[in-house]
Amino acid sequence: MKFYAVFISLCLLASGGSYAQDKTVIRIGVQAFGTVDWELAALQDTHQDDFELQIQHLANAEAGKIALQSGAVDMIVSDWIWVSRLRSTGSDFTFYPYSNTSGALVVEKNSPILSVKDLKGKRLGIAGGELDKNWLLLQALAGQEKLDLNASVEKVFGAPPLINEQLKQKRVDAAMTYWHFAARLEAQDYRQVIDGKGILKGLGIQEEVPSLGYVFRQSWANEHKPVVNSFFKASQQAKNQLCTLDASWKKIIPLTQAEDLPTQTKLRQRYCEGGIEHWGKPEQLAAERIYTMLRNLSNNQLTGQAENLQPGTFWWIE
């Protein structure tokens, strides 16, 4: 009987039966055809021993936030300002970096706009609304040139695709838009004046601070710490593959919805420029400085009432 029981156990293990170790399921909400979708597609091409991804495609960023807060998903990609704001109200969400690419100021190739100060008297398209972080920080940079952008430009707010069209139809002179929409314009012979990293450097932030990251409940992550950390390492490896292996990149080209080679090439370039090279105390201290800037620039509307970036906003892999 003993040998028979051992034989049954081995069979169950080999067939994935109840004796086999179950993988932890990570439910992740992403926007269909978004850049996170590219990375997860590459990640799923590799075998993972300790976790299984369940990808739920969502309509937009707000749908992702709702899904996360309601418990419909375990993880989304969002920004750390939102995480800090939630923590200030008692929530336990936390953030691990995904990309340090944010937005860019784009103009026609032959535009006379060569720097932020050249925006004076121009029509500026702005992706998002009055509280868009790129717009707020651009105002701060212009302020160093004694230029009040709010008073000196004609502002046009809208969704990124609309802002791109406004620029193409010459209804605006420049567009402050999200990086992948800026990349599509660049591939069509438009020119980048400055990007989010350049704006931060102009404001004295030399560290490369991630703009977007994976957001999840700290209590959930503490229960699954080895698996969560394993996922982040696998995510980084998938990004590296997309940036270094042409075969991996070719597989996800349909997800980019870019039909021409120049757009595919520019998207890949800008995507790979957003890789996280360093994530430690210097970057987190720089984030605290950015938080203070955004709090003052938005009169607390973006950050909430908390004076400082909340403890626990950032997740740390030990």
Check: CB of residue 135 under 8 Å from CB of residue 142: no
Q: From the centroid of its chain, how far is CA 61?
A: 11
Total count of residues recorded for the chain: 318
- Is 13 part of a structural domain of the chain? no
- Same domain assignment for residues 95 and 230: yes
**CA-to-CA separations, 288 to 110, 307, 313, in angstroms, rounded:** 38, 10, 10
With H, G, I as helix, E, B as strand and everything else as coil, classify residue 105. Answer: strand
Classify the phi-psi angles of 280: left when phi > 0, otherwise alpha if psi is within -120 to 50, otherwise beta. beta
Full pLDDT tens readout for the chain, 318 residues: 443 343 434 444 444 443 345 889 999 999 887 889 999 999 988 888 899 999 999 988 899 999 999 999 999 999 999 999 999 999 999 999 999 988 999 999 999 999 999 999 999 999 988 999 999 999 999 999 899 999 999 999 999 999 999 999 999 999 999 999 999 999 999 999 999 999 999 999 999 999 999 999 999 999 999 999 999 999 999 999 999 999 999 999 999 999 999 999 999 999 999 999 889 999 999 999 999 999 999 999 999 999 999 999 999 876
- DSSP one-letter string for 148-183: -HHHHSEEEEE-HHHHHHHHHTTSSSEEEEEHHHHH
Q: Would 132 be classed as within a structural domain?
A: yes
- Would the CA dihedral through 237, 241, 243, 249 be positive or negative? negative
- Total of domains in the chain: 2
| Same domain assignment for residues 87 and 110 | no
- Please indicate, yes or no, whether residues 92 and 114 belong to a single structural domain of this protein: no
CB 94 within 8 A of CB 218: yes
Of the candidates 157, 187, 202, which is a domain's last residue? 202
Domain assignment of residue 315, yes or no: no
CATH number, position 157: 3.40.190.10
Domain that holds residue 148: 103-202
Q: Are residues 158 and 223 in the same domain?
A: no
Inside any domain, residue 165: yes
State phi, psi for 103 to the nearest 5 degrees: -125, -175
Q: Which among 202, 237, 255 is the end of a domain?
A: 202
Query: Can you tell me the distance from the alpha carbon of 244 to that of 2, in angstroms, rounded to the nearest whole number?
Result: 52
Residues 72, 158: one domain? no
- Co-location of 28 and 50 in the same domain: yes
Does 33 fall in a domain? yes
Q: Do both 138 and 228 map to the same domain? A: no
**308: in domain:** no
pTM of the model: 0.89
- DSSP β-bridge partners for residue 123: 154
Both 54 and 96 in one domain: the answer is yes
313 inside domain: no
Residue 302: inside a domain: no
Same domain for 155 and 285? no
Q: Which of 202, 223, 244 is the last residue of a domain?
A: 202
